[in-house]
Structure 1
Amino acid sequence: MRRRHLTETLLVLGVSLGSSAVYALLRIVDRLTRPEALSQQTSAMNSSVTPDRPWLDVTYQLAGIAFALVPVLLAFHLLRRDDPAEPRTMGFDLRRPVGDLWRGAALAAVIGIPGLGLYLVAKAVGLNTTVAAANLVGAAWFTVPILVLAAAQNAVLEETIMIGYLFRRWTEAGWGTWRVIVTSAVIRGTYHLYQGFGGFVGNIVMGLLFGWLYTRTKRVMPLVVAHTILDVVAFVGYSLLKPHVSWL
């Protein structure tokens, strides 16, 4: 059973965030071996595919969001073989909307400001790229809705896989609580390494905090709410402020 659970988690990670971690490692090697300094490079996110044809671009964006959530459905399917109550067991449900919202908002506030400070410091000392968080066509009507959906997709994917699913399976495989928390957090940091070392460290800290909170509450939904808020502020805020703020 232990081997089965560990093999299953490797496969789920292999078709989702684990593969992102490998590509992020390759990306940071690429960046570090370029002539220009890391701080002079840009990590572009949420980019248009066909900027000259908005109708096709929005279709590409929606397809990317939808397919990114398939590993979540796979994880739920695998967990439900042993526990038909999943994903309710991990707390991914709407049973406590008010509590989940205020806890998620408070958690986003606690993480957001220090996270921005860490990014600015890391970039200033040459350890991080410039993160261009939103690069959709500025005049397109769908820019803000797509960025909000992308933020929610990131949150659902990362928190249900990295917390809800992996914590369940690794615990069933006999891992101790802190081994689970630390391993999940390091993987989370690794798949953000394409941004630089500030993103790596910041997301490890976020993963440690999220993991510890989950072991106390057994609810993943506040983490999804917090992550969604953080990414909405980053994506939409960048899109709106970029034309007016020189240091973004």
Structure 2
Amino acid sequence: MTARDPSRPATAATPDAPAPATPGVPPPAGVEVAGPTPGGAPPVSERARRRRLTAEIWIVLGLSLGQSAVYAVVNIAARLTAGTPLASQSATLNASRSARPYLDLTYQLLSIGFALVPVALALFLLSANGRSAARRIGLDGSRPGRDLGVGFGLAALIGLPGLALYAVGRAVGITVEVQAAALNAAWWTVPVLVLSALQNALLEEVIVVGYLMERLRELRWRTPAILVTSAVLRGSYHLYQGIGPFVGNVVMGLVFAEYYRRRRRTMPLVVAHTVLDVVAFVGYALIPAAWREALGIR
């Protein structure tokens, strides 16, 4: 970098510094005008920017799926040391919160709504530079037909092997029995299960794929490290279901993360995840209890 000639006025434009603006006089063509730094603060260094982004990631994950991952790790440790085989243990999803139907509905809707707050936070942070976060990560309706098609295709690609992996995991004793829905029967049961599926899809795909991968890319992580980090995080918060679901969700995470890396769209992933969860939640709720007992599903 060329040093400024000390004999020249401090206000003169140099090759290394933009010219100051003169009130009422437009700058010459091609000349960059220096703007005031907010608050007169010095420009942020690259190191400080990286530290801030890293702290932001930890905060977002700590408020959402990172917290779930920590609890899941503790949970699987407790299960493995409980003295009862994993195959004899169970995990319940979408459980009722009250015997009073409308109070239960209120609790369910509040839980779904507050679970989406970290999604709003992640989108807000991604839009800090004025760019639409939804468009940035492809969470929009610009390609509805294609997104639906890809979403259903991904659901089939992941869902069928996932069922097989669950069955194998149960057979070899590394997966707990997962009760996908335990809500009391009511007129709102199926709509709430669908909303729960959509909430899971938005939470996981926006944060674990869209937000996390964008931020790690800004931190200049290598592509393989970004893909593996996203996938392992996805698997980790499913550990409470056993080792089999952890492995299955890591594989799902790699597929979804690679799709996002290539296409920069989370909407097909949200569609796929919603379809998978709706089939699991609603299908489980609609199977008669006698059939579930005959199939060995409680």
TM-score of the pair, normalised by structure 2: 0.81
Question: Which has more helix, going by share of residues?
Answer: 1
Q: Does 1:53 align with 2:100?
A: yes
**What is residue 67 of structure 2 aligned with on the other side?**
19
Which of 146, 166, 171 is the equivalent residue of 1:124?
A: 171
> What's the CA shift for 1:83?
4.3
Map 1:187-198 → 2, pairs under 5 A: 187-198=233-244
Structure 1: gaps spanning 5 or more residues = none
4+ runs of 1 displaced by more than 2 Å? 245-248
Q: Distance in 2 between matches of 1:126 and 1:200?
A: 14
Distance 1:223 1:82 in 2: 25
Gaps of 5+ in 2: 1-48
Percentage of identical aligned residues: 55
Matches within 5 A, 1:87-236: 87-137=134-184, 139-236=185-282
Distance 1:110 1:45 in 2: 23
**Which structure carries more relative contact order (alpha carbon 8 Å, separation 6+)?**
1
**Offset of 1:247 from its aligned partner?**
2.5
- Following superposition, the deviation at residue 188 of structure 1 comes to 0.6
Q: What is the deviation of 1:82?
A: 2.2
Say whether the 8 Å CA contact 1:3–1:173 is kept in structure 2: no
Partner of 2:4: none
Q: Which amino acid aligns with 1:87?
A: A
Aligned-pair distance for 1:242?
5.1
Distance 1:215 1:58 in 2: 38
Shift of 1:84: 2.2
In structure 2, what residue type is equivalent to 1:141?
W
Larger Rg: 2
Report the TM-score when normalising by structure 1: 0.97
Q: Does 1:78 align with 2:115?
A: no
Residue of structure 2 in register with 1:247 after alignment? 296
Over aligned residues, Cα RMSD in angstroms? 0.9
Question: Residue type matched to 2:83 in 1?
Answer: P
* Residue pair 1:2, 1:174 contacting (<8 A) in 2 also: no
The one-letter amino acid paired with 1:33 is T
Give the length in aligned residue pairs.
246
Partner AA of 1:114 in structure 2: P
Q: What residue is the counterpart of 1:65 in the other structure?
A: 112
